[in-house]
Amino acid sequence: MLIDIPLTTITIGPRFRQKLGDIDALAESIAHIGLLHPIIVTTEHALVAGRRRLAAYEHLGRETIEARVIDLDDPLAAEIDENEQRKAYTISEWIAIGEAREDRDREKAAQRQSQAGGRGNAKKKNGSVKVTEPLDVGDSRDITARAAGMSWPTYQKAKAVVQAAREDPEFQDYVEEMDRTSKVSRVYHKLPAYARLEDPDAAPVVRKVSYAVLSQRLDRALQSLLPQIRFLTEDDRTNLGKMLQFYIEWLQQPEEVVHDADHA
């Protein structure tokens, strides 16, 4: 469904990068030729795709922006919307939709786990402990890949390109080329080795990264994990603290980390 929504109603999660590249040029393009691809939001107006387009609209002083609203609870909603509107999603937008569905599934799984724990781990008649439903992140990815007309390996490559640009604006041109040409593999193989998918037969590639990149990755990981800590028992939290302390001690002796990794 295509609608105009106020910019002030759109929420932006922690998954979106902070460095957005040349917004001035994008804003100038939008001012001259308009918005070629609407942004994508959930029914609650959480941003799924279009962070740079949204920033460009803010730069232009616009109050509303055209958006496509998708229902993440309906795995085929995005495909149906595309067929009805005749405005194809870009590859990077399909990746964003898949990631949003994965995030939603993780949240639902955590809620199910919390509810099951609150019932005191009731036992079934056969005496086995009742467990929560498994996390179906793989199903979300498969459904999104099929809806986008991509195989699972192609979807993974496209996601690697998007992730590389999210961590380093230098690769934003790769995303734009992938969206423009639909040539996922060709663009993917332009990525440096450290940004590609892990090859189990290849030697590990260690990339020298800046403090800014490392801190951003750690912050993103912790933001996704911290809400789940409240579900842990006191013993679990103690053990988690010991594990974190272990890594903090490693941080004080980086030479030992490299030595252990080389001899793992």
**The 2-6 sheet, strands edge to edge:** 2-6, 64-70, 39-42, 47-49
* φ, ψ for residue 153, nearest 5 deg: -60, -40
Which residues lie closer than 8 Å to 217 by C-beta, 6 or more apart? 167
Nearest-Å Rg of the Cα atoms of the chain is 21
Q: How many Cα atoms are found within 13 Å in the side-chain-facing hemisphere of 228?
A: 15
Could you tell me which residues come within 8 angstroms of residue 179 by beta carbon, excluding any fewer than 6 positions away? 90, 91, 92, 93
Does the pLDDT value for residue 190 go beyond 70?
yes
Rounded Cα distance between 252 and 238, Å, is 21
Q: How many residues does this entry show for the chain? A: 264
**Per-range mean pLDDT, top range of 73-77, 88-92, 186-190:** 186-190
* Mean pLDDT, residues 101-110: 76
Whole-number pLDDT of residue 254: 62
pLDDT category at 122 given cuts 50, 70, 90 is very low
Grade residue 220 by pLDDT with cuts at 50, 70 and 90.
confident
Rounded distance between C-alpha atoms, residue 113 and residue 160, angstroms: 30
pLDDT of 112 strictly over 60: yes
Q: What is the mean pLDDT of residues 105-115?
A: 75
Residue-wise pLDDT for 19-54, tens only, equals 677 788 889 989 988 888 888 888 889 888 888 899
Pairing of strands 39-42, 64-70: parallel
Q: Residue ranges of the domains in the chain?
A: 1-70
Q: In this predicted structure, what is the pLDDT of residue 128?
A: 37
pTM for the model stands at: 0.54
Statement: residue 69 has pLDDT above 80 = yes
Identify whether the C-beta of residue 47 lies closer than 8 Å to the C-beta of residue 54.
Answer: yes
Structure tokens at 83: 């067929």
Better-predicted residue by pLDDT, 201 or 199: 199
Q: Average pLDDT in the 94-108 region?
A: 80
Single out the residue of 16, 13, 53 nearest to residue 37, CA to CA: 53
Q: Which of 84-98, 116-130, 186-200, 239-253 has the lowest mean pLDDT?
A: 116-130
CATH T-level assignment (fold) for domain 1-70: 3.90.1530
Among 25-34, 113-122, 177-186, 204-213, the range scoring the smallest mean pLDDT is 113-122
The better pLDDT of the pair 94, 131 is held by: 94
Residue 218 pLDDT > 80: yes
Which amino acid is located at 113 in the chain? Q
pLDDT tens by residue, 159-188: 999 989 888 878 889 999 999 998 999 999
